[in-house]
Amino acid sequence: MDDFAPSFPFPKLIKDPGMRVLRLPPPQSPTQVNPHGDSCGACVSRIPEDVMLAILAYLRAYELARCRQVCILQRLIQSDTRLQYRLELGINGVLEGALCAGMSVHDRLRALQAYTAECCAPELVPVRSPPSHGRHEPFKNRSSCVVGNVTAYMVRQPDGDGPNRLVVYAPGTVHEAPFAADFLLPHFMEVAGVDVAQNLLVVFYGGPSETVKKRATVLLRTLRDEGAVAPQHNQPIDHPDALHPNLAISFIKWPSPSFLGFQIYGRYMAWCTRFFSDPITAEPRAERLDYSLEVWDWKAGRLVWRGYFDDQCTFTFLDKAHILVSERRSLLHLGERDKLRMYRFVDSQTHADRATPKLHPAGCVLALELGDTVKSCVLDDTCALTPVPPHPKALFFPDPSLRPIVIELRTHDRGFCTLLVLAEFIRFWLPRTSGPTTNPPVEMPWKDWSRHALTIGTHADKNTPRGSGGAPHAMYPCGSRVAYVAHDPADPFDTPRLVVLDLNPLARHLHAPHAGCARVARVPMPPFRWPVCAVYALRPALEGGVEDGVNAVGMQVHGLSISCTKGQYRDQRLHYST
């Protein structure tokens, strides 16, 4: 299959190949009559079942779901275990893990059905609360969502001179036992990222003194030592997979609050910093490109790509070769709007291990236009990424093509909305040729790509689809599902609710997708075009006991481990894992 071919056809972009192979009309009704005078079922009944099964074996999950709406084809699909298993994989938005290699198709189907039933059954899970002593600063989740509900935070000393305490905790999952680590770091060190899947701890080291310009260092450390958790209050050791555990990065403006943005995707990590001088010569630059976005291969310890920008930018990885960047307008270009561009940091003709650094943002391959009413655009880089590679003990893991990209937009009339776009949809518009990156980027109009995105909030553009469910505070994607806390800010008595959406186009074929909602809370269901997995009321759940001075509850539903901290709802921290 082509690397850029989507796993499902998008509306008005690709014709349904399943309908073309079987030459069936759209399955609006099983008894629909075609122009030749024969019913749809009569045309299919003339084909032998063995031939029909051979044809259906070449179809994908989306095409099987369309063909299943025909009565005769529905009976054939349900009678064949392989077709039913392939269809269930697409409906649940998961792929097979390494442990499925030695299992029969029947055993895989039973394991998948048990996995689905376990994910859709809400149950309480233990939650570890932060300690009541000391001043703790919550650290946003930047780890792979499939291996742990990672909560990392720093406990700083009151005087500010002593070492800080780093606590990393992940409750148990179906693959692993609960994980906990406790380290002591100097007060001039900042935690940049945590990835339990790769046993990786990234620390930003600036030095004990604050000067005008400083050459910072990125430390690559491990959370475990030979499979065992490091002793408490111990210094983390160097990561064994890192060729250079200490990466000396360029001169930056000091003092700096660590990185302005950081994200880990497999063997790549990216960050945005503000430089005092030229990163190569350490001399002051004439142009006003003060911000730099760098992509590093942390295992090889080298710079893969660097781009200069005149203002702070937000970013998120799309795959192992592309990164989506939101370029903010600077004070020198007030008449311009924010730009949303896709850059290729690894050439498709060159292997990732042999990629040469590109020291300027000349690899733009796709430009997503923004609407006239859009004032600013921000990419959420704190979202949990699809794990690369998946957990070795996982029978099933989320499909990377169904990972949603979270885009926050602000309008000129002070409106706010959040767009959720599937990563596979953006990859579909990328150039299919592996030519040089100096070619002009592909322009994608606003009206062409915004109508394929799920919009949550209000927007002044009439061409943008509207959603409801209250104003979201933060998005927490996991696989193809996205959860957020929604409530009406104008109504102080409104019950905050946790809304779980599924952006998988085949999720509407799930059996009783709203099962379990009525048992938890009776709250209104927002009318979205995408299936709503569940809506839960948070206020009754947060009226629990007090543990270590913090009220916390835990719930596991639809493959997400949810922990809610009592307090102001705008400050709630939700963490998820499969």
For residues 47-59, give the mean pLDDT.
74
User: pLDDT > 90: what percent of the chain?
Assistant: 1
Question: What average pLDDT does this structure show over 104-118?
Answer: 84
- pLDDT, one tens digit per residue, over 465-479 is 344 444 555 676 777
DSSP secondary structure code for residue 231 in this structure: P
Q: Looking at residues 415-438, what average pLDDT do you find? A: 73
Distance (Å, whole) CA 128 – CA 550: 10
Angstrom distance (rounded) from CA 564 to CA 578: 16
Query: What number of residues does the chain have?
Result: 578
332 alpha carbon, distance to own chain's centre: 33
Cα separation, 269 vs 25, in Å, equals: 48
Q: Which of 74-83, 331-340, 486-495, 554-563 is the least confident region?
A: 554-563
Whether pLDDT at 221 is above 80: yes
Mean pLDDT over residues 149-167, rounded? 65
When pLDDT is averaged across residues 267-296 and rounded to a whole number, the result is 68
CATH of region 135-571: 2.130.10
| C-alpha span between 47 and 52 (Å, rounded) | 6
pLDDT reading at 188 higher than 70: yes
Indicate the pairing of strand 189-195 with strand 213-221: unpaired
Sign, Cα dihedral of 555, 559, 561, 567: negative
**What pLDDT digit, counting tens, does each position of 524-542 carry?**
444 455 555 556 555 444 4
Greater confidence, 158 or 262?
A: 262
pLDDT score at 544 = 40
* Mean pLDDT of the region 115-126: 60
Domain boundaries, the chain: 17-79, 135-571
Instruction: With a cut of 80, say whether residue 31 has pLDDT above it.
Output: no
Q: What pLDDT score was predicted for residue 25?
A: 42
**Maximum average pLDDT range among 41-45, 234-238, 513-517:** 234-238
Q: Give 530 or 143, the one with higher predicted confidence.
A: 530
Would you say residue 451 has pLDDT above 70? yes
Question: What pLDDT does residue 339 have?
Answer: 79
pLDDT at 340 exceeding the cut of 80: yes
For residue 194, is pLDDT > 60? yes
pLDDT value of position 572? 34
What is the DSSP code (8-state) at residue 123? Answer: B
Rounded to whole angstroms, the Cα distance separating 176 from 398 reads 17
**pTM, rounded to two decimals:** 0.73
How many angstroms separate the first and last alpha carbons of the chain?
28
Please give the pLDDT value at position 512. 40
pLDDT of residue 103: 87
Q: What mean pLDDT comes out for the span 15-37? A: 41
Residue 4: band (very low, low, confident or very high) from pLDDT cuts 50, 70, 90:
very low
- pLDDT of residue 256 exceeding 80: no
| CA gap 331, 395 in Å, rounded | 51
pLDDT digit string, tens, across residues 300-326:
988 888 888 777 788 888 888 888 888
Higher-pLDDT residue of 249, 335: 249
What's the token pair of residue 473? 């505070």
What does the block give as tokens for 286? Answer: 């004439």
Percentage, residues of the chain above pLDDT 70: 48
532 in Cβ contact with 453 (< 8 Å): no
The predicted structure's pLDDT at residue 214: 57
Confidence of residue 496 (pLDDT cuts 50, 70, 90): low
